[in-house]
């Protein structure tokens, strides 16, 4: 089991041999835009460790507003350069260094209802600016499975060829982000990759932690969104780094998620078993869900290294032990696109 935050961050940032090979193939520094969120710090740490293991001297530069000083300290201790910038501020992008490799993670989801203008600025306007500013770089951009429609639960999930049909302004703006990077790629020949993530998990946040905490607290678990996909955050970090080699024009698109379609009801019962209690369930499973098919990802990168069983055991132990939570629920139950 994983006893504390330090051990967890070490595990999430521990590079695989594939990550080291990807780092060895880089042609220069790596700039991560929006590195202060849930995934960004461990992704930056993983990249730094992979580059060190490869023997290369490339810099990892992490850019964010960095409202948590502890995150900045953690990254800088590892040899990562941090730049504190609000990317929407005039002149912010011009002040940033050039780099041949860009990972774009900046996004806004929660708070869209009531502040849609800011969501569109962050998710669509900013990517257009980044596509222009870094038109001579390779760009890996995070997107979301929310760009897909809800699909039948027996379909195996939306593939990259499924027609996009985003529900709600957050998902629409996320599709706008994709279109801006696609525009830049087509106009300038910028090699790019778009990662439709759905959902990354670890002990402190994510769909599995949301379900487990409700079960442990004796709160009802809504099963109306009856099925989900998840991927261990460390595996998501790994795929992201390895996608730099897959950038193309027009952009290469890949669903970033686990290969299983998981029943929310089943997950609630599994966590209840771990806690030796009975789950409280509410609602009835709908015939559709926000699920994605990860066959392309698995074909290119192999199956995730951490299994669903491991994640369930780790998260249950973390919660029993009173482990930290980020306090950022995923609201995976949402079916109307309002966040």
Q: What is the DSSP string of 162-199?
A: SPP---HHHHHHHHHHHHHHHHHHHHH---EEEEEE--
- Please say if the pLDDT value at position 111 is more than 80: no
Tell me, yes or no, if the pTM score tops 0.85: yes
Rg, Å, the chain Cα set: 19
Q: What is the pLDDT of residue 236?
A: 98
> Mean pLDDT for the chain?
96
What is the rounded average pLDDT of the residues 295-304? Answer: 98
Q: How many Å apart are CA 23 and CA 50, to the nearest integer?
A: 6
Angle at 235 between CA 233 and CA 236, to 5 degrees: 60
pLDDT digits (tens, 9 = 90+) for 194-230: 999 999 999 999 999 999 999 999 999 999 999 999 9
- Cβ 336 vs Cβ 167: under 8 Å: yes
| H-helix or E-strand spanning residue 126 | helix 126-133
* The predicted structure's pLDDT at residue 104: 98
Distances in whole angstroms, Cα of residue 177 to Cα of each of 80, 113, 131, 324: 27, 18, 10, 32
User: Is the predicted pLDDT of residue 172 greater than 80, yes or no?
Assistant: yes
Residue 110 binned pLDDT confidence (cut-offs 50, 70, 90)? confident
Structure tokens given for 99: 């780099």
**Would you say residue 94 has pLDDT above 90?**
yes
- Domain positions in the chain are 5-320
In the predicted model, what is the mean pLDDT of residues 313-317? 97
What region, left, alpha or beta, does residue 128 occupy, with left being phi > 0 and alpha being psi -120 to 50 degrees?
A: alpha
Amino acid 211: pLDDT = 98
- Whether the CA torsion 122, 123, 128, 132 is positive or negative: it is positive
Residue 290 has pLDDT above 90, yes or no: yes
| Per-residue pLDDT, 339 | 86
CATH architecture type of domain 5-320: 3-Layer(aba) Sandwich (3.40)
Q: Is the pLDDT of residue 112 over 80?
A: no
Give me the count of residues in the chain.
Answer: 339
pLDDT digits (tens, 9 = 90+) for 230-248: 999 999 999 999 999 999 9
- Spatial separation of the C-alpha atoms in residues 108 and 339, rounded to whole Å: 10
Buried b (16+ CB within 10 A) or exposed e, 182-196: bbbbeeeebbbbbbb
Question: What is the arithmetic mean of pLDDT over 61-66?
Answer: 97
């Amino acid at each position: 089991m994983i006893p504390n935050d330090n051990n967890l961050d070490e595990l999430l940032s521990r590079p695989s041999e594939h990550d080291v090979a990807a780092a060895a193939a880089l042609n220069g520094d790596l700039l991560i835009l929006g590195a202060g969120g849930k995934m960004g710090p461990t992704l930056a740490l993983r990249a730094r460790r992979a580059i060190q293991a490869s023997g290369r001297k490339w810099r990892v530069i992490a850019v964010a507003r960095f409202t948590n000083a502890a995150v900045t300290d953690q990254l800088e201790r590892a040899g990562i350069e941090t730049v504190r910038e609000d990317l929407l501020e005039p002149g912010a992008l011009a002040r940033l260094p050039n780099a041949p490799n860009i990972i774009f993670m900046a996004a806004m989801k929660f708070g869209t209802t009531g502040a849609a203008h800011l969501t569109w600025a962050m998710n669509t306007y900013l990517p257009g600016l980044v596509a222009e500013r870094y038109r001579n770089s390779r760009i890996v951009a995070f997107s979301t499975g929310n760009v897909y429609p809800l699909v039948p639960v027996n379909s195996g999930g939306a593939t990259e060829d499924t027609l996009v049909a985003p529900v709600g302004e957050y998902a629409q703006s996320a599709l706008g982000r994709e279109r801006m990077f696609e525009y830049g790629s087509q106009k300038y020949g910028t090699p790019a990759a778009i990662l439709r993530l759905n959902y990354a998990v670890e002990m402190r946040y994510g769909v599995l932690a949301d379900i487990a905490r409700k079960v442990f607290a004796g709160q009802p678990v809504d099963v109306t969104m009856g099925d989900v996909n998840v991927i261990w955050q460390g595996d998501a970090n790994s795929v992201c780094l390895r996608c730099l080699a897959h950038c193309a024009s027009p952009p290469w698109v890949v669903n970033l998620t686990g290969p299983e379609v998981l029943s929310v009801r089943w997950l609630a019962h599994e966590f209840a078993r771990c806690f030796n209690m009975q789950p409280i369930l509410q609602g009835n499973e709908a015939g559709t869900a926000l699920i994605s098919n990860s066959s392309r990802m698995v074909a290119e990168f192999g199956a995730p290294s951490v299994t669903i069983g491991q994640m369930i055991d780790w998260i249950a132990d973390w919660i029993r032990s009173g482990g930290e939570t980020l306090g950022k629920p995923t609201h995976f139950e949402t079916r109307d696109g309002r966040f």
